């Protein structure tokens, strides 16, 4: 509810412009992506319809021209036949038939002449038709001449047939060319349509997914407070609203993180003061500075001293954790890692002897350039951890080696293996697995977290690895660094 009120309040103050909803943006994107396809379909249908009409017209015209030409050929033959029959029998019915056929021939010729532009024999045929209308003529000589004109008319009709066939072929070729042009145009339109559709899809996909990726990045930054700036996104109203909520949540997490660190810092220091007094008092009592103690009294005083020592270790771990979170400055120097390991193990000598644990440590010097204080913190936490959780009368191994770029330190022990389901959370702050250290005071669960963070700051890593000989084995990897003091960027576990 608080988040909802905060986001609503920020909207009212900011007076943000009205934005499209995600559903509206998706529908708009779908509509704009479909628009070129619909236009393409309409244009293709129009072109196909035009091509079909052109084909139908060309086919009909070709058929009509062919039929007229065939009719002209048959009529010219019939005119000659009827005319010769009339010359022989001199029958009026034959003369009427001749004149009817001549009339039909003239009508068909006029139609075909309109279709054949530039017909060379057109004038000859018209002159022949004029003479043929005078059939049978006034005398035998004229009649004979008219029969010759009928033969010439047949030859001219055959010329018309050739020209008509050429016309039909030309129309068919024109139709094929038109079809080819339409086909090429359709391919071009299809390409443009695909490009426009792809552009619309890419744009609206980016318009939707880009804000989502920014939100994903913002969610990941919530794991690493504090955040320097707010993330501002432009996009659908729902995603903008979610971004405002994440910005508010990020600020709130930063505030809580600052409060947590302040609490740890103050509480750690506040606890150290009375704890120092307790340890000083128990030390005086144990040394008999205020009088001799009985056996039972001395046991109780030593128990208090041991418990206060463990409590001091926990407080120092809290201070280390808080210091690691606040201070990321590295001081790089060259030192002998093996000597450092021996110094650390020496501090835990009493704990090792009390548990009867054997040691296997490296002897040959190994020099490396790293942050000595942070490396000490890592190895000290690991040694303390394997002593506390290792089995009594077991063995603690420390191995060191290098290659051209990395320093490797392995610290291992015999004991109960760490469960697989707990290994992924082993380096989380305040996480404690099913195994517990022995003693009146339990661990804080931040030792390994401090060690891992100290490795990451140096650009290295700390991992739990499998080993054939030991039950639990930690491997520290640190890169070779340049000497000096500097603050590196936030590191990630990349190894």
For 373-423, how does the pLDDT look when each residue is reduced to its tens digit (9 = 90+)? 889 988 988 888 888 887 888 888 899 999 988 999 999 888 777 777 777
Residue-range definition of the domain harbouring residue 480: 327-495
Q: What is the pLDDT, as a whole number, of residue 37?
A: 86
**The predicted structure's pLDDT at residue 316:** 67
Contact of 397 with 365, CB cutoff 8 Å: no
Q: Are 348 and 361 in contact (CB under 8 A)?
A: no
Of residues 331 and 488, which shows the higher confidence score?
331
Which pLDDT value is given to residue 402?
Answer: 92
415 belongs to a structural domain: yes
Does residue 252 sit within a domain?
Answer: no
Is 10 inside a domain boundary? no
* Claim to verify: residue 333 and residue 200 sit in the same structural domain: no
User: Which has more pLDDT, 315 or 479?
Assistant: 479
Span 430-456, mean pLDDT? 65
Asked if the model's pLDDT at residue 12 lies above 60, the reply is: no
Q: Which residues contact 42 (CB under 8 A, 6 or more apart)?
A: none
pLDDT of residue 340: 93
Residues 162, 28 share a domain:
yes
Residue 245 lies in a domain: no
Given phi > 0 = left and psi -120 to 50 = alpha, else beta, which region is 438? Answer: beta
pLDDT at 493: 42
Strand partners, 331: 485
Is the pLDDT reported for residue 248 higher than 60?
yes
The pTM of the full predicted model, rounded to 2 decimals, is 0.46
User: pLDDT class for 334, splitting at 50, 70, 90?
Assistant: very high
Which of 206, 223, 241 is where one domain is finished? 206
Averaged confidence pLDDT in the chain? 79
- Is residue 375 within 8 A of residue 385, CB to CB? The reply is no
Does the structure show a pLDDT above 70 at 16?
Answer: no
90 has a pLDDT exceeding 80: yes
d(CA 137, CA 184): 62
Q: For 304-330, what is each residue's pLDDT tens digit?
A: 776 777 676 666 666 666 665 556 678
H helix intervals, 222-330: 237-286, 295-326
Contact 322, 261 (CB under 8 A): yes
Q: Are 450 and 317 in contact (CB under 8 A)?
A: yes
What's the maximum distance between 2 C-alpha atoms anywhere in the chain? 179
Q: Which one has a higher pLDDT value, 367 or 288? A: 367
CA angle 41, 46, 51 (to 5 degrees): 125
Q: How many domains does the chain have?
A: 2
In this structure, are 332 and 202 located in the same domain? no
Q: 244-253, 259-268, 476-485 — which one is most confidently predicted on average?
A: 476-485
- Of 454-458, 463-467, 486-490, the least confident: 486-490
Answer yes or no: is 213 within a domain: no
Is 94 inside a domain boundary? yes
Residue indicated by tokens 């003693």? 439
How far apart (Å, rounded) are the C-alpha atoms in residues 456 and 495?
A: 10
Q: Length of the chain, please?
A: 495
Residue 412 lies in a domain: yes
Q: Is residue 317 part of a domain?
A: no
**352 & 485 share domain:** yes
Among 176, 206, 236, the domain-final residue is 206
We report the CATH number of the domain holding residue 396 as 3.30.565.10
Look at residues 186, 206, 226 and tell me which one is the last residue of a structural domain.
206
Decide if 444 contacts 430 (C-beta within 8 A): yes
Instruction: Identify which has the larger pLDDT, 362 or 59.
Output: 362
């Amino acid at each position: 509810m608080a988040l909802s009120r905060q986001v609503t309040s920020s909207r009212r103050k900011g007076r943000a412009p009205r934005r499209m909803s995600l559903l509206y943006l998706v529908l708009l994107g779908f509509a704009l992506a479909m628009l070129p396809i619909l236009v393409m379909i309409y244009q293709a249908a129009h072109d196909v319809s035009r091509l079909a009409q052109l084909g139908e017209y060309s086919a009909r015209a070709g058929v009509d021209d062919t039929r007229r030409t065939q009719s002209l050929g048959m009529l010219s033959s019939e005119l000659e036949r009827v005319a010769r029959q009339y010359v022989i029998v001199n029958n009026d019915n034959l003369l009427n038939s001749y004149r009817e056929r001549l009339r039909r021939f003239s009508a068909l010729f006029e139609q075909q002449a309109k279709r054949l532009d530039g017909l060379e024999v057109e004038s000859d045929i018209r002159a022949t038709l004029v003479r043929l209308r005078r059939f049978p003529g006034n005398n035998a000589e004229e009649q004979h001449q008219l029969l010759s004109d009928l033969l010439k008319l047949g030859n001219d009709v055959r010329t018309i047939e050739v020209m008509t066939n050429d016309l039909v072929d030309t129309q068919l070729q024109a139709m094929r060319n038109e079809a080819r042009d339409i086909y090429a145009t359709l391919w071009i339109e299809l390409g443009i349509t695909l490009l426009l559709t792809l552009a619309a899809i890419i744009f609206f996909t980016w318009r939707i997914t880009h804000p989502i990726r920014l939100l994903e990045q913002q969610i990941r930054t919530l794991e690493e407070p504090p955040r320097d700036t707010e993330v501002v996104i432009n996009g659908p109203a729902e995603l903008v609203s979610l971004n405002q909520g994440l910005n508010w949540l990020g600020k709130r997490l930063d505030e809580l993180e600052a409060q947590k660190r302040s609490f740890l810092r103050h509480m750690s220091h506040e606890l150290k003061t009375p704890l120092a007094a307790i340890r000083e008092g128990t030390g005086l009592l144990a040394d008999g500075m205020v009088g001799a103690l009985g056996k039972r009294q001395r046991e109780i005083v030593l128990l208090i001293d041991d418990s206060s020592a463990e409590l001091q270790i926990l407080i120092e771990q809290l201070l280390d954790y808080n210091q690691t979170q606040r201070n990321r400055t590295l001081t790089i120097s060259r030192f002998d890692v093996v000597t450092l390991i021996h110094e650390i193990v020496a501090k835990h000598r009493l704990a090792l002897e009390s548990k009867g644990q054997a040691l296997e440590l490296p002897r040959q010097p190994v020099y490396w350039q790293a942050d000595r204080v942070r490396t000490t913190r890592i190895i000290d936490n690991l040694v303390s951890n394997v002593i506390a959780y290792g089995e009594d009368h077991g063995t603690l191994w420390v191995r060191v080696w290098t290659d051209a770029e990395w320093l490797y330190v392995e610290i291992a022990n015999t004991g109960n293996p760490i469960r697989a389901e707990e290994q992924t959370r082993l380096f989380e702050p305040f996480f404690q697995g099913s195994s517990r250290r022995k003693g009146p005071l339990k661990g804080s669960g931040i030792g390994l977290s401090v060690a891992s963070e100290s490795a990451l700051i140096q650009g290295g890593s700390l991992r739990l690895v499998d080993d054939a000989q030991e039950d639990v084995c930690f491997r520290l990897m640190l890169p070779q660094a340049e000497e000096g003091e500097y603050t590196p960027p936030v590191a990630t576990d990349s190894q």
